[in-house]
Amino acid sequence: MELPFAAPSLAVSAWLVARALPTYPSLTGATYGLAAGLMTDAGMRLYCWIDQPLHVFSSHGGTVSLGTIGGAAMAALIER
């Protein structure tokens, strides 16, 4: 449920960082992917009433880690 909300912020961040020509694009991509994932998770936690540990770690933690991996992959792809 969180991924459609994370995609626009991840795309805008990727576009802005790609224009800056970073020295380490994968590390930079992982950083802005982590930021986009945390921002999205923080917003969705306001509306999510489920507090079971399995849900929190898999759904909310999964979005943050997927954003980090996706940001690194997107930055490496843009750099090529």
Domain hosting 58: range is 3-79
Instruction: Kindly state the average pLDDT of the residues 19-28.
Output: 83
What percent of the chain stands above pLDDT 70?
100
Provide mean pLDDT across the span 56-78.
87
Residue 30 has pLDDT above 80, yes or no: yes
Q: How far is CA 39 from its chain centroid? A: 8
Separation of first and last alpha carbons in the chain: 31
Mean pLDDT value across residues 31-39: 89
Burial of 75 (0-12, 13-18, 19+ CB in 10 A): buried
Please state the domain count of the chain.
1
Q: Could you tell me the pLDDT band of residue 49, with boundaries at 50, 70 and 90? A: confident
